Structure 1
Amino acid sequence: MGFLSSLFDRWRGGGATSDPRLLPEAQLSGPMPWVIAIMISLTVVAAASGLALRNAARTASADLEGGVTVQIVTAAPTERLRQADAVLAALKTAPEVAEVRQVAQEELNTLVEPWLGTRPGDDVEALPIPALIDVRLKGPATAEKLARLRAIVRPVAPSARVDAQAGWLAPVFAAIGTLQWLAGGLIALLAMATISAVLLASRNALGNHREAIEIVHMLGGTDRQIARVFQRSMAFDAAAGGLAGLLLGGITIATLANQFAALGSGMVSGAVLHWQDWLMIAAIPLAGVALAVVTARVTVLAALRRML
């Protein structure tokens, strides 16, 4: 009864707002801050992954938007070089073309070396490797522009293939889009899990202090005053858990970033987080605190209406 006696003294002496704590246990004593920390850290990692994937897709799409590759596919090396020179000369006069260059044989040798197992002394030029011509258009590589380029290339190089570079990565872009939706779904599930945890914790606290709440009501306390007690307690727990979760999530992001940076892939290099992304990530704990406080308030008010 010591807690009830001190509660009566505080309520009679200073009113409901002098020391509004109804929960006698200390902050951070229960599992709630740690549950919220886990939820926030997972949300931070999921949000950072989704934002990094979005940035990688945008960077790759911008780089390949006006890119076109012409492949001269023929087995005879002499004929292949002749057709490549003819295509190069024809494309330089095309109005849609901003820049055109033939990929050097050394670059092609470097590209195929890991797949063919060739060595520096091998005669790679004798292999039927297509001659590649890199074309940059003045705008996006639309279907109409590709058709006009094919009409220019076909008379001088019947075996040539004209393809938009963005088309090669279409399956990759589709996979990135799917991963972004999965990241968003994971964030939604984590938000629902946080709401459920706060709801259960609030109901448990109400059940543990039902007698004290009834006495406070008899002393003139309102439902809103009692709800503010639980809101304040939940806000402290959620803030502590949010900061811990943000720190843990930041460490995880930095570790993953270092691991992927070591790959040296061109597309992976575009998966970086800008300052706007970091602002969104930093706002996640604030959103978690707001979600926990609102959930606690709604849960307590609804329970109090049914209780009395």
Structure 2
Amino acid sequence: MIERLLGTPYERRLLGGGRFSGPTAWLIAIMMFVMLSVAAAGLALAGSARLVSEGVARRHMAQITDGRSTGAAAVAALRAAPGVVSVTPVPEAELRRTLERWLGPSARDPDAALPIPVLIDVELAPGAAVQPVAAALKRAVPQAELISNSGRLGPMLRAVNSLAWLSAAIVALVALATASAVVLATRSALAAHRATIEVMHGIGATDEQITRLFQRKIAVDALAGGLAGALAAGIALLLISAGSLASAGEWTGGRLLGTLDLTLLALLPFIGAALATVVARRTILHSLRASL
């Protein structure tokens, strides 16, 4: 099995060099490091946007302008509404501390003629409709308004999703650059072994046999380089995310990278090796046929 993958000792001596002896393996290792790092960042961004979007889609804020006398009625109506999981009034002291950043110490003075709205944090059950809750609130307190948190975070989530798509575009560009580098490396290898190829043609070797010989060497180099780059990227990501991803996951309420994301990242070295093999095969066949 190993000999079939690596080739016979005679075939390895024919092309010379060992693992990581040429530029192909090192080049693919560097490219794979970049691809996997960028792909992991993009998937983490997409995961964070998804988790935040799912979280805020169920969270709303009830607002009553100058409604201290009707706050209790609004809370009771919201708690009795269908699909409501929790109702949490925001303390007035917390609102005054927030306003103090812009209005100064006078915002914390209870005697100041400062209209403080009543804010009530409302969380709905998954799949619950917001219209019945808003209607129940309006019946109890006509001047109350139910505001969706997702609307306020929409621009931020769109920006995060745009960055995730940008990461995907960078991965595609790096893959294209890798394929171009493999083409150049393959042509260089063919030129370096031109005399060997002519001798093999002279003793009856076909283009397909010569192609398999070079293709196997490039495939092994690509796989070794891809795995080395993936290992380096994995170590770097683990060191970086030791604390940051954990705290980000707690903030968003779940894991930023799911099982499907991790599986895709693990498959990247093998996808890269397959891409390099296909590109090398087409390049070798085209070069051999063009030289006839």
Deviation at 1:244, TM superposition (A): 2.0
Cα distance in 2 for residues equivalent to 1:45 and 1:253: 7
Deviation at 1:268, TM superposition (A): 5.4
Structure of greater Rg: 1
Do the aligned residues in 2 keep the contact of 1:71 with 1:160 (CA within 8 Å)? yes
What runs of 5+ residues in structure 2 fail to find an aligned partner?
A: 1-6
Q: Sort the Cα spacing of 1:304 and 1:239 in 2 relative to 1 into closer, same or farther, 3 A.
A: same
Q: Sort the Cα spacing of 1:17 and 1:218 in 2 relative to 1 into closer, same or farther, 3 A.
A: farther
Please, which of 32, 46, 55 is the counterpart of residue 54 of structure 1? Answer: 46
Please, which of 162, 166, 177 is the counterpart of residue 146 of structure 2? Answer: 162
Please, which of 12, 19, 29 is the counterpart of residue 21 of structure 2? Answer: 29
Deviation at 1:157, TM superposition (A): 3.7
Deviation at 1:258, TM superposition (A): 3.9
Do the aligned residues in 1 keep the contact of 2:51 with 2:252 (CA within 8 Å)? no
**Does 1:253 pair with 2:237?**
yes
The one-letter amino acid paired with 1:295 is V
**Does 1:236 pair with 2:220?**
yes
**Does 1:20 pair with 2:7?**
no
Do the aligned residues in 1 keep the contact of 2:82 with 2:133 (CA within 8 Å)? no
Q: Sort the Cα spacing of 1:139 and 1:269 in 2 relative to 1 into closer, same or farther, 3 A.
A: closer
Partner SS, residue 162 of structure 1? strand
Cα distance in 2 for residues equivalent to 1:291 and 1:264: 34
Q: Sort the Cα spacing of 1:113 and 1:52 in 2 relative to 1 into closer, same or farther, 3 A.
A: farther
Cα distance in 1 for residues equivalent to 2:208 and 2:155: 54
The one-letter amino acid paired with 2:25 is P
Cα distance in 2 for residues equivalent to 1:254 and 1:125: 54
Partner SS, residue 11 of structure 2? coil
Q: What count of residue pairs does the alignment treat as equivalent?
A: 284
Aligned residues: CA RMSD? 3.1
What runs of 5+ residues in structure 1 fail to find an aligned partner?
A: 1-15, 75-79
The normalised TM-score by structure 2 is 0.83
The one-letter amino acid paired with 2:11 is P
Q: Sort the Cα spacing of 1:249 and 1:124 in 2 relative to 1 into closer, same or farther, 3 A.
A: farther
Cα distance in 2 for residues equivalent to 1:193 and 1:295: 12
Cα distance in 2 for residues equivalent to 1:292 and 1:212: 23
Cα distance in 1 for residues equivalent to 2:104 and 2:258: 40
Do the aligned residues in 1 keep the contact of 2:245 with 2:256 (CA within 8 Å)? no
Please, which of 252, 257, 263 is the counterpart of residue 273 of structure 1? Answer: 257
**Does 1:213 pair with 2:197?**
yes
